[in-house]
């Protein structure tokens, strides 16, 4: 795919090129991965300033970096290795000839202190810099140990100080080795904070001194880009994002069996579909992770979408998130895993709009015309898709509407190789619901049979 960057994306790429230490605070969905990869490409092949990059990211986000490299035409030259899995698999990946090495943050301590491999990366990218906010964590101490060897470093996150300004010290200590906020956390506290909650000599928390926020931001502003409040986008902007998850071979076999045979024996139960419309519903359920058997009981299949949902919620860093679900078992599994509130009455909607609910769930059929939810947040995640273009558009319009003060980001969690892809394409084409449903199922069946 050809990359046609927005102005803010061009600006951010050039910022990374011009700043050996860069803090990039972009809201989720604004394309921080492709922005950074584009800068890495220039630094590797145009400027020849670096030769070996280490990307540190959450475990499941590693796949996103790979997907972005493969997706964009201008990045095809980049060689990458993914150091995730067993110790042997990680070592094999790190010994490959590549330009970019991707590792999950939980293995930073292993890489630095236990792998026995030389730390010879001249550039480091920390995706979700906020996960390095604790100066006492092993991952922070390990990376600080080798930080002097790194020529260039980039920290990416949406909200760097979700728990307050105290978070910023460790993050910037990592980026600039203490140049802006000091080398020691004690001095940072003395300069910008006063004790808040305490018991005699034991201090439990600190609060900023008057003017501290401005002073801290002024100190870090020369190496920081913050895209809060859509600084580089016109209001109201809509960002549509697709997050792909992949079934295991066993899960994919279950899916194909039902798709081809219209019946699937599974965990002592029988899943069947009597016609194309019923098959569509069953396949959508399986793509989401669970399916109803012939007795109406729920049969669990996978947690791929729940894992992706967890990553998106984490990346939001405390910003309110609205989740759209379709099947009842989707709602049950979401509520079991996350502390979320269902928006189903005036009280819950009022609480959402007043910012009291960080994670909310809603059914598209409940998100009718005239329901205003834009005051409560600007991020919508489609956990399960609907064939109904009307319900899809109505639900999106609850946040993407007049009066919205922030960029609206709409994520779609898509299970690769399933009917999810057909639904997404149908919504893009604005096909009539029923015809698109039947044709998509037929197309899938014929492809598998052939």
Confidence of residue 327 (pLDDT cuts 50, 70, 90): very high
Q: Which domain holds residue 319?
A: 238-244+303-449
Tell me: do 45 and 137 sit in the same domain: yes
Q: Is residue 334 part of a domain?
A: yes
Query: Residue 146 above 90 pLDDT?
Result: yes
Instruction: Give CA–CA dist 251/246, Å, rounded.
Output: 9
Residue 265 lies in a domain: no
**pLDDT (tens digit per residue) in 196-238:** 877 777 887 788 899 888 888 889 989 988 764 344 445 568 8
Residue 324's alpha-carbon distances to 33, 98, 403, in angstroms, are 25, 39, 21
Q: Is residue 58 part of a domain?
A: yes
The residue assigned the tokens 């003395």 is 190
Identify the H or E element spanning 308: helix 304-316
Single out the residue of 183, 181, 221, 182 nearest to residue 23, CA to CA: 221
How much is the pLDDT for 144? Answer: 97
Q: 70 lies in a domain?
A: yes
Question: pLDDT (tens digit, 9 = 90+) per residue, 286-321?
Answer: 999 998 887 788 889 999 999 999 999 999 988 999
Q: Which residue from 382, 373, 324 is spatially nearest to 352, judged by alpha carbons?
A: 373
Number of domains making up the chain: 2
Report pLDDT for 268: 62
Confidence class for position 438, pLDDT limits 50, 70, 90: very low
d(CA 437, CA 276): 8
- Type and span of the H or E element at 336: helix 328-337
Give per-residue pLDDT as tens, 7-47.
888 989 999 999 999 999 886 557 889 999 999 999 999 99
Q: What is the reported pLDDT for 183?
A: 96
> Pick from 346, 385, 350: which is nearest to 364 by CA?
385
- Whether the predicted pLDDT of 86 surpasses 90: yes
* Same structural domain, 223 and 91: yes
Clarify whether residues 307 and 214 are in a common domain.
no
Beta strands in 260-343 (DSSP E): 263-266, 269-272, 290-292, 298-300, 321-324, 341-342
Lowest mean pLDDT among 108-112, 337-341, 406-410: 406-410
Token pair 């939001």: residue: 316
- 390, part of any domain: yes
CATH classification of the domain holding 309: 3.40.50.300
Q: Are residues 444 and 326 in the same domain?
A: yes
List the structure tokens of 315. 């990346």
- 69 and 218 together in one domain: yes
Residue 171 near residue 130, CB atoms below 8 Å: yes
Q: DSSP letter string over 151-185?
A: SEEEEEES-TTTT-GGGHHHHHHHHHTTTTT-S-H
Domain boundary among 199, 229, 259: 229
Does 132 reside within a domain?
A: yes
Q: What pLDDT is recorded for position 229?
A: 37
pLDDT of residue 429 exceeding 50: yes
CB 414 within 8 A of CB 246: no
**Cα–Cα distance for residue pair 339/359, rounded to 1 Å:** 7
Same domain, 422 and 340: yes
Residues of the chain with pLDDT > 90, as a percent, come to: 57
77 and 212 assigned to the same domain: yes
| CB 9 within 8 Å of CB 34 | yes
- Between 121 and 388, where is the model more confident? 121
CATH number at residue 146: 3.40.50.10810
**Of 317-326, 385-394, 425-434, where does mean pLDDT reach its minimum?**
425-434
What is d(CA 138, CA 156) in angstroms, rounded to the nearest whole number? 20
From the number of C-beta atoms within 10 Å of its C-beta (0-12, 13-18, 19+), residue 338 rates as middle
Q: Which residues lie closer than 8 Å to 305 by C-beta, 6 or more apart?
A: 245, 287, 288, 289, 383, 384, 413, 415
431, 334: one domain: yes
CB atoms within 10 A of CB 416: 13
Residues 225 and 102 reside in one and the same domain: yes
């Amino acid at each position: 795919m050809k990359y046609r960057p927005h102005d803010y994306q061009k600006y951010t790429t050039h910022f990374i090129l011009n700043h050996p230490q860069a803090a990039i605070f972009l809201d989720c969905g604004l394309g921080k991965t492709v922005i950074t990869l584009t800068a890495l490409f220039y630094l590797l092949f145009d400027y020849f300033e670096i030769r070996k990059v280490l990307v540190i990211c959450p475990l499941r986000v590693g796949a996103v970096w790979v997907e972005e490299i493969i997706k964009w035409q201008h990045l095809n030259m980049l060689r990458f290795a993914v150091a995730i899995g067993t110790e042997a698999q990680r070592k094999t990946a790190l010994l490959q000839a590549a330009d970019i090495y991707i590792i999950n943050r939980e293995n930073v301590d292993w890489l630095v202190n236990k792998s026995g491999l030389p730390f010879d990366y001249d550039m480091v990218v920390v995706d979700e810099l906020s996960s390095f906010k604790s100066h006492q964590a092993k991952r922070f101490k390990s990376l600080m140990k080798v930080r002097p060897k790194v020529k260039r470093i980039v920290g990416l996150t949406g909200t760097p100080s979700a728990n307050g300004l105290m978070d910023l010290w460790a993050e910037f200590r990592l980026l600039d080795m203490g140049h802006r906020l000091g080398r020691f956390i004690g001095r940072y506290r003395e300069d910008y904070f006063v004790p808040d909650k305490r018991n005699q000599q034991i201090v439990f928390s600190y609060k900023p001194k008057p003017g501290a926020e401005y002073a801290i931001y002024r100190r870090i502003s020369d190496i920081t880009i913050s895209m809060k409040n859509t600084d580089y986008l016109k209001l109201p902007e809509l960002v549509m994002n697709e997050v792909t998850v992949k079934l295991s071979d066993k899960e994919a076999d279950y899916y194909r069996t039902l798709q081809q045979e219209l019946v699937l024996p599974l965990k002592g139960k029988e899943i069947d579909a009597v016609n194309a419309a019923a098959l569509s519903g069953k396949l959508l359920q399986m793509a989401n992770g669970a399916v109803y058997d012939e007795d109406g009981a729920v049969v669990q299949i996978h947690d791929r979408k729940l894992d992706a949902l967890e990553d998106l919620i984490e990346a939001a860093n405390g910003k309110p998130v609205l989740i759209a679900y379709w099947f009842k078992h989707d709602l049950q599994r979401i509520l079991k895993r996350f502390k979320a509130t269902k928006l189903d009455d005036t009280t819950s909607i009022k609480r959402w709009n007043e910012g009291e609910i960080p994670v909310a769930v809603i059914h598209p059929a409940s998100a009718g015309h005239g329901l205003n939810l834009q005051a409560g947040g600007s991020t919508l995640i489609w956990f399960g898709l609907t064939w109904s273009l009307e319900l899809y558009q109505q639900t999106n319009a609850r946040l993407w509407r007049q009066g919205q003060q922030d960029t609206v980001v709409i994520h779609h969690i898509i299970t690769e190789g399933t009917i999810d892809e057909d639904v997404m394409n149908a919504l893009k084409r604005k096909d009539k619901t029923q015809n698109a449903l039947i044709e998509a199922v037929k197309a899938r069946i014929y492809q598998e049979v052939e």
